[in-house]
Structure 1
Amino acid sequence: MKKFLSMTLITVMTMCLFTGCVQKTNNTLKISKKIRIGVCIANINDKFLSYMLNEMKNYSKSLNDVEVVFVDSKGDSNIQLAQVENFISEGADAIIVNPVDTNSSKPITDKAKAAKVPIISLNEPFQIQNDAASYIDSDSKQSGILEMEYLAKKMNFKGNVVIIMGRMDNEAQRLRTEAYHEVIAKYPDMKIVAMQPADWNRARGMALMQNWLESGKQIDVVVANNDEMAIGALKAIEAAGKLGKITVGGIDTTPDALDYLKSGRLAVTVFQDGAGQAKCAIETAVKVAKGESVEKRVIWQNELVTPEDADKYIDKWGKWKAN
C-alpha cells in the first residue's frame, strides 16, 4: 500500500512539473496548464514590426496562465516555416504569424491545419487565408489613399511624383502602391516619374533618393510605403540642400516619423494602430486556444496624421510605453 501511494505521489509531482500547477477541487486533483502561444515576426529589424512585437510582449505579461514565445524569422520564409514546425512539435495551443511572404506561406498553413493547431496571420495575410483562424491587419489600400490624397491636395493636384515601395513580395506594398496610382490617375497635372522598392528600409530609401536626385530628375513629391523609407528620402533631400522643396509622405506614424512631422520636414503620415493590432492578435490567439469563436477578419481603419496632430500621437506612444 505504501509503495502504491509513493508511486501515485511521484506521478502527480511529475505532472505538476510539466503542467505548472495542481489544484484540489471537491477532493479530486485537477491538472491545469498554461496556454502556450507561439509568435513568428517576419523581421524584427523592421521598425514598425519591432513596435508591434514590443506591444505584444508588454500585453502578454499582464495575462495569467498564458505563456507566449516570440521568434524572429529574419525575413526568410524557410526559417519561418521551421519555426512554425517547432511550435507545433512543442505543443503550442495557437500560433501567430506575421508572414515573411504571402505567396510562400501555404506550407505554413498546411502544417498547422494537419496538426490541428489554430493559426492567425498578423499584418500580412496567408496565401490560403481560409485555413487560418483569423487575419488581423490595417486596411493597406485605405492608408495609401489617405496618404496620396493629402499629398495631392497639398501640391494643388500637380507635380512630378516618385514612389518608394516596400518589399515586392509584400501585400501591403502592392495595395498601397495601387492606391497611389489610382489617386494620381484622377489628376492630369500629376505624373509618376519613377518608382522603385527600398524594402521598408531607411538606409535603402536614402540611397534610392540620392540616386534619383543625382540623376537630375525633377521631383516634387515623394510618396513612400512606410515612414522608414520616407525618413531615408528626407535625409537624402536634406543632404542635397533641397529640404522644403520636395514634399514627402509616409505611413506608420512611428515615434521617429512624428519627430519629423512635428518639425515640418515630413508632410504627412498614416496611423494604423500597431499597438491595437498587436493586442488583438494575442487576445484572438488566447480565445482560439480555449476553443472560442473569433472573427475571421479584423481590419483596422487608418487615421491621417498631419503636423498639427503630431503631439496627440506622441502622447499615444508615451502611454503605450508606460504600459
Structure 2
Amino acid sequence: MITRRNLLIGSAAGAAAAVLASRAFAELPPLAKKDKYKVGFAQTESNNPWRLAETKSMQDEAKRLGHQLIYTDAASSAAKQASDVNSMIAQGVDAIFLPPREDKPLVPVILAAKAAGIPVFLIDRDVDHTMAKPGEDYVTFIGSDFIEEATRIGEWLVKNANGKSKIIELEGTTGASAARDRKKGFDDFIAKHPDFKIVASQDGDFTRDKGRQVAETLLQAHPDADIIYAHNDEMALGAIAALEAAGKVAGKDVLIVSIDGEKDGVQAIIDGKIGAICGCSPLFGPKSFATLADYAAGKKIAPFIKNEDHFFDAGNAKKDFALAF
C-alpha cells in the first residue's frame, strides 16, 4: 500500500541517493569564460575587524573587475548562512565564495550548489573532508594553514616563556575548521614539551566579549595560570580586559599569544601586553577572483591554495605595523 509516509521516505531516499551519485560520478560544475560574473559571497558575520577587512577586500576586488557581488551576512548563524547560500542558488549566481562558519552544517548547501551546476570556492575556513572534498564537491579551499599558525605560536612560546608554564586556551567557535586546527596544532606541539601544561581550554566564539567572559571564569578557576593562548586577537584583547579587571598586568603577570594580526592586536604587542601574534590575512579578494578566472579558463586548480602568514612580535611589530589589518 502506498502511503504519504512511504512517498516521503522514498523521496528522501531518492534525494540522498542523488547526492551520493553526484559526489561519486559527477565532475565539478564548469564555469563559462565571461568578462563579468554574478557571484555570491556568503559572509559569516560582521562583528570584528578581520571579517570587515575580508568583506571589503571581496567587495573592492569585485568592483575593480566589474563583477556583480551578491553579499549576505549570516550574523554568526550557520543556519542563516546555509539559507543565504540556498538563496544564491535560487538567484542563479555563476559561482559562490563561502567561508563556512562551521565545518559540517554547510556541507548540504555546498552539495546543493554542485547539483545546481554552481561551483563553490571555500575561503578562510574549510569543511569536513569526510563529508565533502575539494576538487570533487567544491573547487578548492583558499586559506591559511591553521595548524602551522598554531605550531608557530607554540614554538615562539617555548622559546620566550621565561619560566611561565600554565596555559589557558581560548578556543574559537566550536565546529569551525580554524578553531579545530588552531587547537590541534598548538596542543600537539605543547604535548611534546612537558614543562608546559594546558590547565583549561574553552570556546570563546572568536569574539572579544565572549573571550573576556571566558578568560574571567578560567582565571578565577586557575589563578596560577600565567599564559593565555587565544585562537584570535579579538579573544586575546578580551583576555587583556579580564586580566586588568582582576588587577593583573597583561604581558607581565600573564603572557598572551594569539593569531590573526589585526591592528589592535599588533598595537598590544607594541604596548607590551601581547607577546606574539601569527598573522592570518583576511585579504582574500585578489586571490579569490584570480582563482575563479583560472577555473573558468580551464586551468587545474589545487585543492588547497595556501596564504602565507606574517609573524609579529616585539622585534618587528612597530616596523611592520602597516601589515596589520
The TM tier, using the shorter chain, reads 0.7 to 0.9
Determine the structure 2 residue equivalent to 1:23: none
Shift of the 48–174 alpha-carbon distance from structure 1 to 2, 3 Å rule, reads: same
Contact 2:266 2:312 (C-alpha < 8 Å) held by counterparts: no
Q: Deviations over 1:207-232 (max 9, x none)?
A: 11212233352011101111110111
Other-structure match for 1:240: 246
CA shift in 2, pair 1:34/1:234, >3 Å:
same
- Counterpart of 1:296 in structure 2: which amino acid? P
Which of 241, 266, 282 aligns to 1:274? It is 282
Partner of 2:52: 50
Q: Single out whichever of 203-212 and 134-143 deviates more from structure 2.
A: 203-212
- Further displaced range: 195-204 or 123-132: 123-132
Instruction: Give 1:287 shift.
Output: 3.8
Describe the shift of the 1:48–1:121 C-alpha distance in structure 2 as closer, same or farther (beyond 3 A).
same
Shift of 1:103: 1.0
Instruction: State the Cα distance separating 1:301 from its structure 2 match.
Output: 3.3
**Distance across 1 between alignment mates of 2:86 and 2:237:** 37
AA of the residue aligned to 1:104: P
Matched residue type, 2:199:
V
Instruction: Tell me which moved more, 51-60 or 229-238.
Output: 51-60
Deviation at residue 199 of structure 1 after TM alignment? 0.5
Determine helix, strand or coil for the equivalent of 2:269.
helix
Out of 252, 256, 266, the residue aligned to residue 264 of structure 2 is 256
One of 268, 291, 297 as aligned partner of 1:284: 291
| CA RMSD, 1 decimal | 1.9
Of the three residues 284, 301, 308, the one matched with 2:308 is 301
Residue in structure 2 matched with residue 123 of structure 1 by the alignment: 124
Larger proportion of helix: 1
- Structure 1 103/154 Cα, relative in aligned 2: closer, same or farther at 3 Å? same
Which residue in 2 is equivalent to 1:59? 61
| Structure 1 segments of 4+ aligned residues over 6 angstroms from their partners | none
Please identify, of 145-154 and 134-143, the stretch whose mean Cα deviation from structure 2 is larger.
145-154
- Structure 2: which amino acid aligns with 1:52? E
Q: In 2, distance between residues paired with 1:37 and 1:311?
A: 38
Quickly say closer, same or farther: Cα 1:216–1:284, change in 2 above 3 A: closer
Q: Deviations over 1:127-149 (max 9, x none)?
A: 30330011101000000011122
Conserved in 2, the CA contact under 8 Å of 1:258 and 1:310? yes
Alignment of 1:77-156 (within 5 A): 77-127=78-128, 128-129=132-133, 130-156=136-162
The one-letter amino acid paired with 2:205 is D
1:153 Cα offset (Å):
1.5
| C-alpha deviation, 1:291, in angstroms | 5.2
Does the 8 Å CA contact 1:42/1:76 hold for their aligned counterparts? yes
Find the residue that maps to 2:193 and give its secondary structure: coil
Of the structure 1 ranges 143-152 and 42-51, higher mean CA displacement relative to structure 2 is found in 42-51
Structure 1 length normalisation: TM-score? 0.82
In structure 1, runs of 5+ residues without a counterpart are: 1-31
The one-letter amino acid of 1:51's match is A
Please, which runs of 5 or more residues in structure 2 have no aligned partner? Answer: 1-33
Contact 1:142–1:302 (Cα < 8 Å) also in 2 = no
- The alignment-based identity, stated in percent, is 25
Partner residue in 2 for 1:24: none
Paired residues in the alignment total 285
Quick check: 2:102–2:174 contact (8 Å CA) kept in 1?
no
Give the secondary-structure state (helix, strand or coil) at the position aligned to 1:103: coil
Contact 2:39 2:68 in 1 (8 A): yes
Does residue 1:165 correspond to 2:171, yes or no?
Answer: yes
Mapped partners of 2:107, 2:215: distance in 1: 35
Helix, strand or coil at the partner of 2:317 = helix
Query: Does the CA contact (< 8 Å) of 1:157 and 1:189 recur in 2?
Result: no
